Every structure is written in C-alpha cells, then in structure tokens.
A = this chain, B = another copy of it.
Amino acid sequence: MNDKKAVATAVTPILKKLNSTSSDIQASAVMSRDGHTLASVLGDTVNSVRLGAMCATLLSLGEKASLELNRGHLKQILIHGEDGYVLLLRIGEKAVLAVVSQPSANLGMMLVEARRTASEIVALSVV
C-alpha cells in the first residue's frame, strides 16, 4: 500500500481529527522527509508547496544541528513565531508530521496530540 492516493486516503481522516482537537490548529500535513506532501488538511493560511519546501530544509538542518551538538538523531523541531507555531515531528524513518497553529495554542496539548497522531499514522504502516 505505497500508492500515493491510498496513503492520502488513509492518513487524511487522522489529520482531520488532529485539526479538530483545537481551533488553534490551522493546518497539518504528512510529508516525506524530502518535502513531498503525502496527505494534508490545510486552511487558507498555509501554502502546501511552501510548507513542504520549508519542512524539508528545516529537517535537514535540524538533523545536522542535533547530531553536531551531540543530541542524537532528530525527533522534533518546534518553530515559535510571534504569530504562531510550526511543529515538525518525525514519523518513522521516512516521513514527518507538520502542525501549524495560532499563537494562542496550548503548546503542551499540541505536543501531546501531535505525538498521538504520529503513533496512529505509524500504526497504519503506510508511510
């Protein structure tokens, strides 16, 4: 089940559930580590191509930084901007979950829900 459409069909409902956990979550996506979108539930504020490109670059640099500073392989990157958060969470070896939220998001809850979502996606064995 590596067909792209099948992956999107399986993963999209899980992303919808994640986005519905809080009105502060504006977008979520699962991407390959090289930035290709496998499934996404994006609002108007997030551009899919930009998100993919930025995630791939951030993951690559984040992995390098984590290793260089003796923190081991990268698990997660959190970007906190004045107008919100971007969370990137590794899913297995090949994919990443991206979550984009408003600044009012409860960071602890967002991390918990993102981890739960990542586990659900891993359990599908499609990425």
A residues adjacent to B (C-beta < 8 A): 45-46, 50-51, 54, 57-58, 61-62, 64-86, 100, 108
Q: Is the CB of B74 within 8 A of A81?
A: yes
Compute how far the CA of A67 lies from the CA of B50 in the bound complex, rounded to whole angstroms.
Answer: 11
Q: Which residue of B lies closest to A63 (CB)?
A: B81
Q: Is the CB of A77 within 8 A of B78?
A: yes
Number of copies: 2
Q: Is the CB of B70 within 8 A of A46?
A: yes
Q: Is the CB of A72 within 8 A of B84?
A: yes
Contact of A51 among B64, B69, B86 (CB under 8 A): B69
Q: Is the CB of A100 within 8 A of B54?
A: no
Q: Is the CB of A46 within 8 A of B58?
A: no
Q: Which residues of B contact A83 (CB under 8 A)?
A: 70-72
Compute how far the CA of A64 lies from the CA of B50 in the bound complex, rounded to whole angstroms.
Answer: 11
Compute how far the CA of A77 lies from the CA of B81 in the bound complex, rounded to whole angstroms.
Answer: 9
Please list the 9 inter-chain residue pairs (A to B) with the smallest Cβ-Cβ separation, ordered nearest first.
A71-B81, A72-B82, A72-B83, A66-B81, A76-B80, A78-B78, A71-B84, A72-B81, A54-B65
Contact of A79 among B45, B54, B74, B86 (CB under 8 A): B74
